[in-house]
Chain A
Amino acid sequence: MSVALQCKGVSKHFDGVKAVSNVSFDVQQGALHTVIGPNGAGKTTLFNCITSEYAPTSGEVLFEGNRISGRRPHELPGFGVSRSFQRTSIFANLTVAQNVWLSAFRQFAGNKIEIVRSADSHPEVAETITRTLEEVGLARYADAPAIELAHGDQRLLDFAIALAPKPRLLLLDEPTAGLSRSDTQRVMHLIEGLKGRYTIVLIEHKMDVVMRISDRITVMYFGEVLAEGTTDEIRANPRVREAYLGRRA
């Protein structure tokens, strides 16, 4: 197995505040690597550096050998990178299929002339939409307005939007936040089904989810890496228990 993603000494400072300091880790191709840490530890800032929402103050991020940090966010899908956000980010008044269309179209819009074609004249996009909605279990809602989906289904639509451009690296920021136990299990099963086919970096607070599906875990604390290891190593680490896992570990 080869290294797919490399974070090399990534730092991000805001007006002297060191949100992320010298973070390094590798993610193997097809592995699921989870980043955990207390609120404010810098996890989402790190995600934003990986996806070029922020340019790192120093350090760099490589995916498949290409530097993906310090670019413009819309360039990332071209490198095979896709992400979901902490809060569900969908177009509520579009249909479920239209939400995915916007994302799926990206991979086929190779030149500007494509944009002036009718939305219906892209059979390859329609096929991608169908396949993606089937993957996340929303095919039967394709023509329903997204706003009518239940909360858990809206989160699955978020996944479909991230999957439609056929990424090779998937970054998931707290995908189960705000979900009930049953919806959390649906999302967890979906992620388990994606494992191996995608390289996945996950931020997640629900430890039952993290410990079940992660291959490796990086623990961040005050912007730095406190520990990295397998689930068993992290669970047994007394510094991690004190800083993050708390008394229920």
Chain B
Amino acid sequence: MSLGVENVNAYYGNFHVLQGVSLLVEQGTIHVLLGRNGAGKTTTLRTIFGLMDKWTGSISLDGVQIGGKQPHLITRAGLAYVPEYRGVFSGLSVRENLAVGEYPNSPWPIERVLELFPPLKNLLGRMGGHLSGGEQQMLAIGRALMSGPKFLLLDEPSQGLAPVIVDIVVDTLVRLKNEKIGILLVEQNAEIALEIADSASIIEQGEIVHRGTALETRNNPQIMSTYLAVG
């Protein structure tokens, strides 16, 4: 099973943002999409999740076209999205936020989500807006899991988090990968992302300029310095 993105173009008005982007994420693997601010990483995730009005190309889940479908139908097909800044409903409690993501017969009922994120157990009645950044990130991932996805789109999950919380998020992503969930990860922290990813792409001005395994990407100093300012 895989998430396939082929020759996708996307536009904001007349501005051609994504230019022939192709990606492949296999089940039970992490594919990291790296690049500078404004390179097109978030737009790629938004296009896959049906949030862009103007786009062309092919997006498929296990060979079935999901491109062009509405987000709730894409979720039902097995793909969930954790946006940048988490999208937690500040006026709803933790329990209500989780319930928003719940699908019938999901392999991830609330009990299992709380087992994955024990700190949320004692916060079920707390409003989403009163959570710390780390708690909100756990809630956002937990809410996405409640639909029982086969694939997850994650946008900047370490952003604004304390190093010790980043460790928890990283451990969680590895565990989800071992649970056979495929993950398309957008992340500014290239070093951490490449530690846990299986494969990587680098996007620059809307075009994929590099594809490879995470290991060969991490070990290529020219790529790391040219596109990611690392090293």
Residues of A within 8 A of B (CB): 36-41, 86, 150-152, 174, 177-183, 185, 205, 207, 242-249
B contact residues around A181 at 8 Å (CB) = 188, 190, 228-230
Q: Is the CB of A205 within 8 A of B162?
A: yes
Chain A residue numbers with a CB within 8 Å of B163 are: 205, 207, 244-246, 248-249
- Closest A residue to B134 by CB, please name it: A39
Q: Chain B residue with minimal CB distance to A248?
A: B163
CA distance A38 to B161 in the complex (A): 7
Q: In the complex, A178→B188 CA distance in Å?
A: 7
Interchain CB contact (< 8 A) of B160 among A39, A150, A183, A245: A39
Residues in B190-229 with C-beta less than 8 Å from chain A:
190, 228-229
Please name all residues of chain B whose beta carbon is closer than 8 Å to the beta carbon of A177 when the two chains form the complex: 159-160
CA distance A21 to B34 in the complex (A): 40
A187 to chain B, nearest CB (A): 11
Cα distance, A244 to B167, chains bound together (Å): 10
Q: B166 contacts the other chain (Cβ, under 8 Å)? A: yes
Please determine whether B38 and A151 come into contact, CB atoms closer than 8 angstroms: yes
| Chain B residues closer than 8 Å to A37, beta-carbon distance | 162
Shortest distance between the CB of B182 and any CB in chain A (Å):
25
A183 contacts B162, CB within 8 Å? no
B188–A179 touching, CB < 8 Å = yes
A204 → B minimal CB distance (Å)? 10
18 intermolecular pairs with C-beta atoms under 8 Å apart: A39-B160, A39-B162, A40-B131, A40-B134, A40-B135, A177-B159, A178-B159, A180-B35, A180-B228, A183-B36, A183-B37, A205-B161, A244-B162, A244-B164, A246-B162, A246-B164, A246-B166, A246-B167
Q: Is B133 at the interface (CB under 8 A from chain A)?
A: yes
Find the A residue at minimum CB distance from B161: A39
